[in-house]
Amino acid sequence: MKSLRILVVSVIVAGMMVGMATLVGSAQVITTTTQVTTNVTVQQVGLGVIDWTNGVIRIQASGVGDQSKPVAQRKLLARRAAVVSGYRELLETTKGVLVQSETLMRDFMVVNDDVRAAAEGVINNAVVVPGSETYTEESDGSITCTVTMEMLLRDILVPVYATMRNQFGTVAVAATVVSPYTGLVIDVGGFGFPKPAVFRVVTVGGTVVYGVSVAKYEYACQSRLASYINSVIAAKQNLQDRVGGNPYVIRAVRIVGTDIIVPNEVVTVTTSMTTVLQECRVVVSY
């Protein structure tokens, strides 16, 4: 009987240890998920948010339905009002995007009719995120609707890139050997880089390593010149679809306007990364 009791206690203790191991494993998964979320780079512009990591602009907008209408109609009117408001806020958010140096999208829309028309066209086709609509019945009987709308930052930047299309790919990047690196991660942490849509990576000696003159136009239009994220580790872990499993990491020396200044010696590596640079496989960690 004593042996049986010992056996039962052993089984219980073993079960507790397995349960604890399972909980530890779960905690590790939760931690990883949290890390992915907190590493996304977002920028508040007015009432909108620019997600620079995933290249999405989001806006949360609200609308109120006419109290004199039936409930079903009030809901439809509230949604329509929210969407119209969302279009306006999206337009204001895009105007806060820095193109390069001190030039904002606002200036591009003022001086270039094509850019303004293209931006407005994209905004009018922005989508309401499925499942993001919420309805609240107010004390006065009206229906308030809140929706979250989003659009791709890439679509807004395409007309901007089009204005400088003849500048793309003008620098010949001659590859002498096949590079083992699958992408480029540029560390600008601590320098207050403003996350512009157009920038250059230049050595201390003045050699252009990356920028519009190196990238191919079609790739920039597809994925932007770079994604932004807030750590080098996050770039390697969470953006492998962009920079691959073995990216080359450069630490900036300083920032001059929208130029990232890097050491001269990086040229010996980047000159062999022709395809990587032309296809915009670049992430900026700030």
Domain residue limits, the chain: 42-162, 166-285
The CA distance from 123 to 91, in Å, is 7
Amino acid (1-letter code) at residue 3: S
Question: Nearest 5°: phi and psi at 47?
Answer: -95, 0
Please give the C-alpha separations between residue 127 and each of 43, 75, 150, 182, 260, in angstroms, as whole numbers: 20, 18, 6, 34, 35
Ranges of residues in the chain whose predicted pLDDT is under 50: 1-38
- Tell me what pLDDT residue 247 has: 98
Summarised one tens digit per residue, pLDDT across range 26-58 is 332 322 222 334 477 888 888 899 999 999 999
Q: What pTM did the predictor assign?
A: 0.79
Give tens-digit pLDDT for 6-17: 433 343 334 433
Residue 42 has what pLDDT?
Answer: 85
Q: What is the pLDDT of residue 176?
A: 59
What confidence score (pLDDT) does residue 32 get? Answer: 28
Q: What does the pLDDT read at residue 231?
A: 93
The per-residue pLDDT for 27 is 30
Which pLDDT value is given to residue 139? 86
pLDDT reported for residue 15: 43
* Residue 173 confidence (pLDDT): 63
Maximal C-alpha separation, the chain: 92
Beta pairing class for 183-187 and 247-251 = parallel
- Confirm if 242 and 183 have CB atoms less than 8 A apart: yes
